[in-house]
Amino acid sequence: MWQDVRALNATANGLIALVVLACVASGVWWVSQRPMFTLRSVRVESIYDIELKRVSALTLRAGVIGKFKGNFFTTNLEQVRTAFESVPWVRRATVRREWPDQLIVSIEEHEPLGTWGEDGRLLSVKGDVFTANLAEADDDHPLPAFDGPEGSEKEVLARFGQLRAWFAPVALTPESLSLSSRYAWTVKLDNGMLVALGREQDHDSTHDTMRERVQRLVKVYPQLAARVPEIETIDMRYQNGLALAARGIKISKDGKLLPQPVAKVLASASSATRVPQAALPAKPNTKASTQH
Domain range list for the chain = 36-109, 114-291
pLDDT, one tens digit per residue, over 17-62 is 777 777 666 655 555 554 555 778 888 999 887 888 888 888 888 8
- Split at pLDDT 50, 70, 90, the class of 268 is very low
* Paired residues of 105 in beta bridges: 44, 95
198 against 22, higher pLDDT: 198
- pLDDT (average), residues 145-165: 96
- Split at pLDDT 50, 70, 90, the class of 16 is confident
pLDDT higher than 60, residue 279: no
* Paired residues of 80 in beta bridges: none
What is the residue-wise DSSP string for 33-63?
A: TSGGGS--EEEEEETTSS--SS--HHHHHHH
Order of strands, sheet of 90-98, starting from the edge strand that comes earlier in the sequence: 41-46, 102-109, 90-98
The fourth-level CATH superfamily of domain 36-109 is membrane protein fhac (3.10.20.310)
Is the pTM of the predicted complex or chain greater than 0.75?
no
Q: Which of 23-37, 74-88, 119-133, 231-245 has the lowest mean pLDDT?
A: 23-37
Helix (H) or strand (E) holding 96: strand 90-98
- Tell me the one-letter amino acid at 48: Y
**Per-residue CA distances from 22 to 19, 27, 29 (Å):** 5, 8, 10
- Split at pLDDT 50, 70, 90, the class of 130 is very high
The fourth-level CATH superfamily of domain 114-291 is Cell division protein FtsQ/DivIB (3.40.50.11690)
**Contact predicate 279/228, CB 8 Å:** yes
pLDDT higher than 80, residue 288: no
User: Which long-range contacts does 138-145 make (Cβ < 8 Å, 24+ apart)?
Assistant: 138/112, 142/175, 143/112, 143/113, 143/114, 143/115, 144/113, 144/114, 144/115, 144/174, 144/175, 144/176, 144/177, 145/114, 145/115, 145/175, 145/176, 145/177, 145/178, 145/188
pLDDT of res. 267: 36
- pLDDT (average), residues 152-175: 96
pLDDT of res. 276: 39
- pLDDT (average), residues 204-231: 84
